[in-house]
Amino acid sequence: MAQRSLSATGRSVSRATRVAASAGVGVLAAAVGYLVTYLLVVDEVREAFGDSVADWMGVAWYYYNAHFVEIEAYGEVGGFSRTDTVDLIAQSETTSSVAAYAIPPLVLVAVGAILASQFDARNLGEAVLVGAPVTIGYAVVMGLGAIIAESSTEASFFGIDAAESMAPELLPAVVLGGVLYPVVFATAGAVAAALIRSQ
């Protein structure tokens, strides 16, 4: 009886360890994807925004666009306001920025495959258990990043107040970029690796 209880506890600790490790790797995957995007588009960011936007923030906007999350641009002058959405990659004509669309899926598939190999997943259930929790860490980074990557300015001209801001749309950043992308791609990478290992 005690032996059965110990082995059940061992399995639950093992599962908890897998989930925690996968969540941590989700944070790492988001960071790696951002860094690769930085290398691809930082020159374009500098050309497009100059000194008005920090390089890291402009690259973050491209990174969110690579997840099909649009950037919300808000402007207000003298009580009149307007909100638009912007997709910087779609507006770009450079190959390097368009290639940014491929970065999140590739990184997530690779991460899922690595986790499946690391935890010796050999069937669909085991692959899902190591691939899907990547979402936890990835969603946290995407949600926090959307809040941090907001640029806002205020000014006053002849007594008329003006303000503008740009930031990734928060709900799509979390749901589309933070949840859907890793659930689909990290899990797909884990499943593919598990199927290969089971042959």
- Per-residue pLDDT of 44-84, as tens digits, reads 999 999 888 999 999 999 999 999 999 999 877 777 778 89
Q: Report how far apart, in Å, the C-alpha atoms of 65 and of each of 101, 139, 158 are.
A: 8, 15, 37
Domain edges within the chain: 1-69+84-150+167-198
Determine the Cα angle at 193 with ends 186 and 37, to 5°: 40
Lowest-pLDDT choice from 34-43, 55-64, 117-126, 180-189: 117-126
How many Å apart are CA 178 and CA 174, to the nearest integer? 4
pTM, rounded to two decimals: 0.87
Secondary element (H or E) of residue 82: strand 80-86
Task: Return the pLDDT at 10.
Answer: 42
Lowest-pLDDT choice from 9-18, 101-110, 128-137, 187-196: 9-18
Q: Across the strands, what pairs with 151?
A: 166
Task: Return the pLDDT at 38.
Answer: 97
